[in-house]
Amino acid sequence: MMAIPPPLTTYDNDIDILLSQMTDEDKIGQMTQIAIDLILKDPSKPWNEIEVDPVKLTTAIQNYKIGSIFSVAATGAYSLEQWHDIIGKIQDESSKTSLKIPVLYGIDSIHGANFVRNSVLFPQAIALAATFNTTMVREIGKIVARQTRAAGIPWVFHPQVDIGRQKLWPRLWETYGEDVKLVKDMGRAYTESMQGDDLKSLVTVAACLKSFVGYSHPQSGRDRTPAWIDERQMQEYFLPPFEESIRAGAVSVMINPGDVNGIPGHANYHLMTEILKEKYQFEGFALSDWEDIIRLHTVYHTADTPKEAVRQAIMAGVDMSMVPLDFSFFDLALEGIRDGSIPISRIDDAVRRILRVKYALGLFDGRNAWPDISTINTFSNQIFDQINLQAAHEVITLLKNDNNTLPLIETKITSDTKLLITGPTADVLTSLNGGWSYTWQGNDQSIYPTNFTNKTILESIKRYLGTSKVEYINSTTFDQIIDMSKVLDASVNASYILVCLGEQAYTETPGNINDLILDDAQLQLVEQLHNRTDKPIITILVEGRPRIIRRIVELSSAIVMMYLPGMEGGQALVDVLFGKYNPSGRLPISYPKYNHHLSTYDYQWCETSLGNNIDVEFEFGHGLSYTTFVYENLVLSPSPILLWDEQLSISIVVRNTGSVVGDHTVLLFISDLYRSVTPPNKELKGLNYQRQLLASKDK
């Protein structure tokens, strides 16, 4: 475990003095977060024409005492130079106030500093989970922090440590999968690496854990809809990852925008105050999600007025409101203080928590709180790109490989070889990267830097094989057939057929689906190719959740799962397909076979009684290699019989019995045969996070 920053209470003496000087308006301003749109001249302008409006900025900072601003306008990511201009103007304006309290700027750096142009776009969280490699996650977390702080932004809305057990959910790919230990360990690694041991360092950022808690498990699978999670499930599966990252020093959390058991996340006193702040002794602050306080009135109907919604949220434990497109929270909270419905003691507690983080980040040091742009010479470098490529390598999971179809080694590639490539994800960067890539939805490829446009799967393969050996036919969109006849005719003369399937970029509500089965047009593409030719079909899946492919599994000679592998995904796939890298990824989720059978690997024994079966397409932890491994010399120490407070040490020798260099993650599961409550059939309790390449016959 890494060293973590000093306790936030370290700054309480300074905060006591500052609080004594603050007016009610000053305090409510600190609790108010607005989107950048409110201080821009025209948020609809293209990204490179965005300008701060000095009058709007003065209104926000001087009149409303705004304590936090976040995000980018809808037109997308800004350059490093733009960010320095924006952040500089905001902090200069805050320095003109009587108390000179700095603004805390936040951003969704979800898989890189993805709202800073030319930053590294890494694999998304679900993909990183497939590596089972916390060392890799730590390296990525450090780079994300460095590149985000380089833009002057000290606060990141990540990691998502809500456990991903609802496969329909459109933000599943932002999680680290369905297993509680894996999510705990990945979340802790990311939190520690981003925050380091000193938040004042100009290469670290404050983490914000999302989304506390149960947001990831809506019963319907649709975003922001109700979850029903009993207390035992909550304590056993959903809360532990948050507790783990809080113990690792996380300084902020974002609240669940949905509801759990009929109580909206933003009105849940039990979870926010009794669990988060009292039981876990959390010293940081709780942030609302987008507009979700007012939604207690407009959506959830627990508050009969907007003012009552503000009171409910504050009294339940929300410390900062992501309003975000007006100043209504400021006005309504101020009314609550003045009529006595919101006690000043609760306001002081919220403001103290926010100020702790600002002090910890060194924001009171003014422009010294972020690097001077003239000194930044390591924003992007080859080492970062190499780490990104290695991460994408480790992500790729080989699900099926009949008759050693893969790799397409040199002996399989002759002068006459022709690779036919088709499918909707073959030539788009947006699918490789997913949501939160330069824009919220991540689906606008036109704003990608021009030097990135040659990184699609198609372009990466053409660069390796040469254009003469590759034929590309755009046969389908994600949900419609364009022209099947051309690709069917071409398949007859192909040596291999690479069919790139999956999902377009999405996140949150726009990613809601009614059916987990992959779109029919894509399934038909594989079916008709199989009916037309006996050439090997290699199916590539580029998707953020496990779309059901039951109809085409048997028709595919090989199936490769890429998840959302980031900007180097195309090159990583080339290396795997052509034998330059031996795949080692393993599924961090159970891949379902049927729409109404969405089991997790840790199902209960009783679920298989009375002739019931757990029938998934690919099991949690599944992942093939181009080599073979055997386990030898299992040693239990001190013995398999333990007292209740003893620990069991387990060691095993892994030997590569094949002819190809490879690495392998050992997963240790345990089972309780009997418990006072129904036990799961097995639980992941250990794995070797230290990866090591094994040559043939090595161990």
The residue ranges of every structural domain in the chain are 8-367, 382-618, 629-687
The 8-class DSSP code of residue 547 comes to: -
Residue 403 has pLDDT above 70, yes or no: yes
Whether 8 and 360 have beta carbons less than 8 Å apart is answered as: yes
Nearest to 300 by CA among 324, 269, 265, 253: 265
Mean pLDDT of 460-473: 97
- Alpha carbon 402 to chain centroid, angstroms: 32
Q: Cα(649)–Cα(638) distance, rounded to whole angstroms?
A: 7
Using one digit for the tens of pLDDT, what is the confidence trace for 610-657?
778 889 999 999 999 999 999 999 888 876 666 667 788 888 899 999
Q: How far is CA 357 from CA 270, 371, 477, in A?
A: 24, 19, 46
H or E segment to which residue 617 belongs: strand 616-618
Q: Other C-beta atoms within 10 Å of 364: how many?
A: 16
Residues 6+ apart with CB under 8 A from 534: none
What is the predicted pLDDT for the residue at 378? Answer: 67
Pairing of strands 285-287, 252-255: parallel
- The verdict on whether omega for the bond into residue 371 sits within 30 degrees of 0, i.e. cis, is no
Pairing of strands 558-561, 397-401: antiparallel
What is the predicted pLDDT for the residue at 687? Answer: 79
What is the predicted pLDDT for the residue at 545? Answer: 98
Q: Cα(296)–Cα(535) distance, rounded to whole angstroms?
A: 57
Which two tokens mark 303? Answer: 């508050």
Whether 509 and 464 have beta carbons less than 8 Å apart is answered as: no
Whether 153 and 105 have beta carbons less than 8 Å apart is answered as: yes
Mean pLDDT of the chain: 95
Using one digit for the tens of pLDDT, what is the confidence trace for 282-293?
999 999 999 999
Residues comprising the chain, all counted:
699
What is the predicted pLDDT for the residue at 487? Answer: 97
Whether 218 and 169 have beta carbons less than 8 Å apart is answered as: yes
Using one digit for the tens of pLDDT, what is the confidence trace for 425-445?
999 999 999 999 999 999 999
3-state secondary structure of 649: strand
Q: Cα(106)–Cα(421) distance, rounded to whole angstroms?
A: 41
Residue 320 has pLDDT above 80, yes or no: yes
3-state secondary structure of 363: helix
Using one digit for the tens of pLDDT, what is the confidence trace for 15-25?
999 999 999 99
What is the predicted pLDDT for the residue at 112? Answer: 97
What is the predicted pLDDT for the residue at 529? Answer: 98
What is the predicted pLDDT for the residue at 698? Answer: 67
Least confident of 155-164, 170-179, 210-219, 660-669: 660-669
Mean pLDDT of 309-318: 99
Pairing of strands 155-156, 104-107: parallel
* Residue entry with tokens 């079916």: 527
Pairing of strands 321-322, 32-35: parallel
**First and final CA of the chain: distance in angstroms?**
27
Least confident of 131-135, 361-365, 537-541, 692-696: 692-696
- Could you tell me the pLDDT band of residue 597, with boundaries at 50, 70 and 90? confident
Nearest to 331 by CA among 294, 292, 357: 294
Rg (CA), the chain: 26
Give me the percent of the chain exceeding a pLDDT of 70.
97
Using one digit for the tens of pLDDT, what is the confidence trace for 363-388?
999 878 888 887 676 677 889 999 99
Residue 167 has pLDDT above 70, yes or no: yes
CATH of region 8-367:
3.20.20.300
H or E segment to which residue 570 belongs: helix 569-577
Q: Where are the beta strands (DSSP E) in 198-325?
A: 206-212, 252-255, 259-260, 263-264, 285-287, 321-322
- Could you tell me the pLDDT band of residue 228, with boundaries at 50, 70 and 90? very high
Residue 56 has pLDDT above 90, yes or no: yes
Using one digit for the tens of pLDDT, what is the confidence trace for 15-55?
999 999 999 999 999 999 999 999 999 999 999 999 999 99
Using one digit for the tens of pLDDT, what is the confidence trace for 546-594?
999 999 999 999 999 999 999 999 999 999 999 999 999 999 999 999 9
Q: Cα(213)–Cα(263) distance, rounded to whole angstroms?
A: 12
Strand partners, 540: 500, 560
Whether 245 and 207 have beta carbons less than 8 Å apart is answered as: yes
What is the predicted pLDDT for the residue at 1? Answer: 63
Using one digit for the tens of pLDDT, what is the confidence trace for 242-282?
999 999 999 999 999 999 999 999 999 999 999 999 999 99
Question: Please, what CATH class does the domain formed by 382-618 belong to?
Answer: alpha beta
Pairing of strands 558-561, 537-542: parallel
Residues 6+ apart with CB under 8 A from 204: 145, 149, 194, 195, 196, 198
What is the predicted pLDDT for the residue at 290? Answer: 98
Q: Cα(392)–Cα(131) distance, rounded to whole angstroms?
A: 9
Whether 363 and 154 have beta carbons less than 8 Å apart is answered as: yes
Angle ∠(167,211,72) on CA atoms, nearest 5 = 105
* Residue entry with tokens 């940081």: 284
- Could you tell me the pLDDT band of residue 224, with boundaries at 50, 70 and 90? very high
Least confident of 74-78, 274-278, 419-423: 74-78
What is the predicted pLDDT for the residue at 516? Answer: 98
Residues 6+ apart with CB under 8 A from 96: 61, 62
**DSSP letters spanning 369-426:** GS--GGG---SS-HHHHHHHHHHHHHH-EEEEEGGG-----GGG--TT--EEEESTTT
Whether 544 and 177 have beta carbons less than 8 Å apart is answered as: no
Which two tokens mark 185? Answer: 């360990």
Q: Which residue numbers are catalytic?
A: 289
What is the predicted pLDDT for the residue at 369? Answer: 80
- Could you tell me the pLDDT band of residue 390, with boundaries at 50, 70 and 90? very high
Residues 6+ apart with CB under 8 A from 601: 178, 179, 590, 619, 620, 621, 682
3-state secondary structure of 239: helix
